[in-house]
Amino acid sequence: MAGVPLVLENKVALITGGSRGIGAETVRLFTEAGARVAFSYRQARERAETLVLDCGGPSRCVAIEQDLANPADGRALVAAAVHAFERLDILVVNHGIWPSDDVPIAEMTDAQWRGTMGVNLDSVFGLVQAAVAQMDRQGQPSTADEAAGHIVLISSTAGQRGEAYHADYAVTKGAMISLTKSLSTELAPRGIRVNCVAPGWVTTEMSAAALGHPELGPKISAGIPVGRAGSPREIAGPVLFLCTPLAGFISGEVLNVNGGAVLVG
């Protein structure tokens, strides 16, 4: 018996922060589903080049070196992706920074605050602005139930319940949720579906120090009903689903992928 396909044939996706962790798994899964994928990286050139080869080479997957620190950077990345594949059907905003040191709000520097805002929020404005303009230029789909485009923003449990000593990060991830709801209302009538995935703790390089800490690690696991952190592929799967026709009636949703740790939308 044939399975239910999650396919993205003839679609072009741009995935930010795609050289490692959740981003890399999303790149792999999207190419497996038939999409052509452009992804951004900042420093990990060797990893990015290896990932391109693993995903079928430059006819199927391209890596774009691009800082994402302001709106202009975001617009430049979209332009580069469109130049590579001549259209854009899907934008997955996955990149972001999480300053690992605990910093009380009374001691947080302007530079840290602005740096986190620039990468995690300001660049997202440019990405979304340019992606929506491109999707609009491509025109409406031939049928009413077909999406003109998909945007998936990656938030975090920190955006839902806050995170002490990491207010800068939590603020930006809360903004992803608000932006999802605002854009959904604005863009759904134009055929563009906007949704959000909010992961909890995931085993990536960014979280390795905390999850591997002899005292903190067990406390983190104890706070997750499933009893463990997630894998990058367990986040990439829901992102893929939201960009398929099976999710065509979903817009403005915050999909929690956190092992039951936070039960809010």
Catalytic residues: 169
Structure tokens at 96: 């972001």
Whether the Cβ atoms of residue 138 and residue 191 lie closer than 8 Å to each other: no
Q: Among the residues of 100-254, which ranges form H helices?
A: 110-117, 123-137, 158-161, 167-187, 208-211, 216-222, 232-242
Whether the Cβ atoms of residue 124 and residue 153 lie closer than 8 Å to each other: yes
C-beta neighbour count of 37 within 10 angstroms: 31
**Would you call 138 exposed, middle or buried from its count of C-beta atoms within 10 A (0-12, 13-18, 19+)?**
middle
What residues pair up with 106 in beta bridges, in sequence order?
none
Distance between CA atoms of residues 256 and 263, nearest Å: 7
| Cβ partners under 8 Å of residue 60, min gap 6 | 31, 36, 37
Which amino acid, 239?
V
Which backbone phi and psi does 173 adopt, to 5 degrees? -75, -30
Distance between CA atoms of residues 49 and 61, nearest Å: 10
